[in-house]
Amino acid sequence: MLITVAITNNKKSKIWFINMTKADKKKKKEYSVKEKLSGVFAPIVTPFENEEIIFKELGNNILKYNMTDLKGYMPLGSNGEYQGLTEEESLKILDVVQKYRSEEKIIVAGCGRESAKASVEFIKKATSIGLDFAFVLTPHYFVKDMSDDALFRYFTFIADKSPIPVVIYNAPKFAFDLLISPELMRRLSVHPNIIAMKNSSLFPTAEYKKYIPENCDFYLLAGNVKTFYHGLIDGAIGAVLSTASYLPEYCCKLYQLYMNANYDEAEEMHKFLNDLSGNTVGKFGVPGVKFGMELRGFFGGEPRLPLLPLKSPDRNQIVGYFDNHGITKFDTQAT
């Protein structure tokens, strides 16, 4: 199956109000939370060489992403290898993303720490650099003690003190299988500073949707390509997809097809992306995402230890699949 996708630079799109002066606020419209989160976000990988971050290439990646219809970027998540970064590195990464992103792009970032207090302190530092929403992963070091009541107090403490809106980051894969229960989500959804949940679990979005109170401004985001299309059908307003790190225009195309009610084409694109991810990059985690980026002309770089680069047979398998399915270099001239 050969997919051809036209890329637009979105120059005529409306501009979001982000970190502006009082004078700027009078000139530009401030969009709602729902509008800011509606669309596809790319996780931003941290490119390493010899264990050091290559900040120049990080900036170049953002410049390329600016050419797409991505709604925004998520540095400091699992694909950004946040757990292996120092705080200084994390803040510098955020600073680079902030400086290189085009004005309409929204920045969200992984800000969760194992204690509520540490999470708040990091969010405050990140906000001073430039951040629209703080994604907070469930604390899990003491996973056996993470009852709904404990998690409720954790997220409430953070939301009460955070200077920016908080998004619950529900990712059991990275939290010792700790899942946000629908009832806990319902309790948290009414907090005025908790505005969404990124659902990277396989628990159905439709079931979570049932627990959102009526007239509550709380939204759901899909967290992986497997559940993206059906998540939209079930009420998600957008997604953060590792697939968007190396196939940004394809993921945006799926979202646009769905929003334009071209459901047959959207489902076909979903199947194409789901099969591609499952047969290639998705099997190999962060090293796979980085290699997929390299094949498309982005700079993935090396993973940081203890993660290891892909072995040659795995790399060759991805190359073959991409070639056979018409996946070529990201076309910067198509903008």
d(CA 63, CA 22): 27
Per-residue pLDDT tens listing for the chain (335 residues): 444 444 443 333 323 333 434 344 344 468 899 999 999 999 999 999 999 999 999 999 999 999 999 999 999 999 999 999 999 999 999 999 999 999 999 999 999 999 999 999 999 999 999 999 999 999 999 999 999 999 999 999 999 999 999 999 999 999 999 999 999 999 999 999 999 999 999 999 999 999 999 999 999 999 999 999 999 999 999 999 999 999 999 999 999 999 999 999 999 999 999 999 999 999 999 999 999 999 999 999 999 999 999 999 999 999 999 999 999 999 887 64
Neighbouring C-beta atoms of residue 155, cutoff 10 Å:
26
Question: Which CATH code of 3.40.50.300, 3.30.1370.60, 3.20.20.70, 3.30.70.141 fits the domain covering 29-334?
Answer: 3.20.20.70
Q: How far apart are CA 303 and CA 288, in angstroms?
A: 10
Helical spans, DSSP H, in 42-179? 55-65, 87-100, 116-129, 148-161
Rounded to 5 degrees, φ, ψ at 78 are: -60, -40
3-state SS, residue 302: strand
Q: HSE on the CB side for 249, CA within 13 Å?
A: 22
Residue 99 annotated among the catalytic residues of the structure:
no
Task: Tell me the whole-structure pTM to 2 decimals.
Answer: 0.90
> Which residue in 198, 226, 253, 290 is the catalytic one?
198
The Cα–Cα gap between 244 and 65 comes to: 10
What separation in angstroms does the CA of 130 have from each of 54, 231, 264? 20, 29, 39
Rounded Cα distance, 135 and 147, in Å: 20
Contact partners, residue 332, CB within 8 Å, separation at least 6 = 64, 67, 297
> Taking the CB of residue 192, how many other CB atoms lie within 10 A of it?
9
3-state DSSP assignment of residue 108 = strand
Domain locations along the chain: 29-334
Query: Residue 13: what pLDDT?
Result: 32
